[in-house]
């Protein structure tokens, strides 16, 4: 399985059985993206919320590839009206997609569909837990502030092994909150995201890694450059 960072909160996950998953494919307008949207293939696209830096190229990629788009109920209704292959979910629900299980979890953020000329109700923002065919669990938090259920629900119930958290501050947690959230969840691997895409969310990931190390030295903070990947 590989988890490739496409910059910002965009990731490509390819499972051992070659299921191609994109999360928040913000590519064309992403100044840090290592590739173009046309180069991406997907079987499944997960959207955490409607903001353009997450929804990004979802429609174009889905149109071209026929990928299934999972999003919150309201965004999914909007996508189905555009003729796309989509399944709406809501917080706490799970569904199987081939040999993985996708669970939608809470995020503390908004979800306006601000990328469209027409306005549509974007529902609420979410995160996702992916349970792979080998039992490994990946948590992509989407944009969020820190919230207590990272302890009570994310850790105690789902126990993800690999966690992707925003550290850019301003729109999401900053490095202090994200380090505490990391300690609360206590994954094996922590990959920071949503930073250094734009000047407003500049952060030093090494400083974040030091904070995590001092709180919980068992967590392996994996800092990547866009285009690099984590593999196991």
Interacting residues toward Mn ion by CB under 5 A: 53, 143
Residues 6+ apart with CB under 8 A from 118: none
Q: Rounded to an integer, what is the distance from CA 137 to the centroid of its chain?
A: 13
The least distance separating Ni ion from the CB of residue 111, rounded to whole angstroms, comes to 8
How far apart are the C-alpha atoms of 63 and 79, rounded to whole Å? 11
Question: Which residue's CB is nearer to Ni ion, number 74 or number 143?
Answer: 143
CA dist 108 and 91 (Å) reads 12
Cα 177 from Cα 67, distance rounded (Å): 34
8 binds Ni ion (CB under 5 A): no
Whose Cβ is closer to Mn ion: residue 53's or residue 169's? 53
Q: How far is the CB of 127 from Ni ion (least distance, A)?
A: 12
Output the DSSP codes for 168-184: --SSS--HHHHHHHHHH
- What is the smallest separation between the CB atom of 177 and Mn ion, expressed in angstroms? 15
In total, the chain counts a number of residues equal to 232
Q: Considering only residues 127-156, where is the footprint of Ni ion by CB under 5 A?
A: 143
Q: Output the smallest distance, CB 35 to Mn ion, in A.
A: 20
- Which of the stretches 43-51, 80-88, 114-122, 149-157 binds Ni ion when contact is defined by CB under 5 A? 43-51
How near is the Cβ of 54 to Ni ion at its closest, in Å?
Answer: 6
Using the minimum distance from each CB to Ni ion, give the nearer residue, 143 or 183.
143
Residue 57, binding choice from Mn ion, Ni ion, none, Cβ under 5 to 8 Å by partner class = none
Give the interface size with Ni ion as a residue count (CB under 5 A): 2
Do β-strands 11-14 and 86-89 pair in parallel, antiparallel, or remain unpaired?
A: unpaired
Q: What b/e string do you get for 33-57 counting C-beta neighbours within 10 Å, with b at 16 or more?
A: bbeebeebebbbbbbbbbbebbbbb
Q: Is 51 in the site for Ni ion (CB under 5 A)?
A: yes
Q: Which residues bind Ni ion (CB under 5 A)?
A: 51, 143
């Amino acid at each position: 399985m590989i988890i490739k960072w496409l910059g910002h909160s965009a990731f490509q996950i390819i499972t051992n059985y070659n299921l191609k998953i994109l999360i928040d494919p913000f590519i064309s307008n992403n100044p840090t993206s290592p590739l173009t949207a046309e180069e991406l293939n997907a079987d499944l696209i997960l959207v955490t919320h409607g903001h353009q830096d997450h929804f990004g190229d979802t429609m174009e990629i889905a149109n071209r590839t026929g990928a299934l788009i999972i999003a919150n109920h309201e965004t999914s209704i909007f996508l189905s009206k555009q003729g796309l292959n989509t399944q709406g979910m809501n917080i706490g629900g799970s569904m199987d997609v081939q040999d993985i299980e996708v669970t939608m979890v809470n995020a503390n953020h908004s979800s306006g569909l601000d990328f469209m000329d027409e306005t549509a109700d974007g529902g609420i923002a979410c995160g996702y837990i992916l349970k792979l065919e080998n039992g490994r669990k990946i948590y992509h938090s989407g944009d969020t502030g820190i919230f207590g259920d990272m302890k009570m629900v994310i850790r105690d119930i789902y126990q993800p092994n690999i966690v992707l958290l925003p550290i850019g501050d301003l729109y999401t947690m900053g490095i202090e909150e994200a380090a505490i959230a990391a300690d609360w969840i206590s994954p094996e691997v922590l990959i920071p995201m949503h930073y250094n895409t734009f000047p407003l969310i500049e952060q030093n990931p090494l400083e974040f890694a030091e904070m995590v190390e001092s709180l919980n030295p068992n967590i392996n903070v994996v800092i990547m450059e866009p285009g690099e990947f984590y593999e196991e």
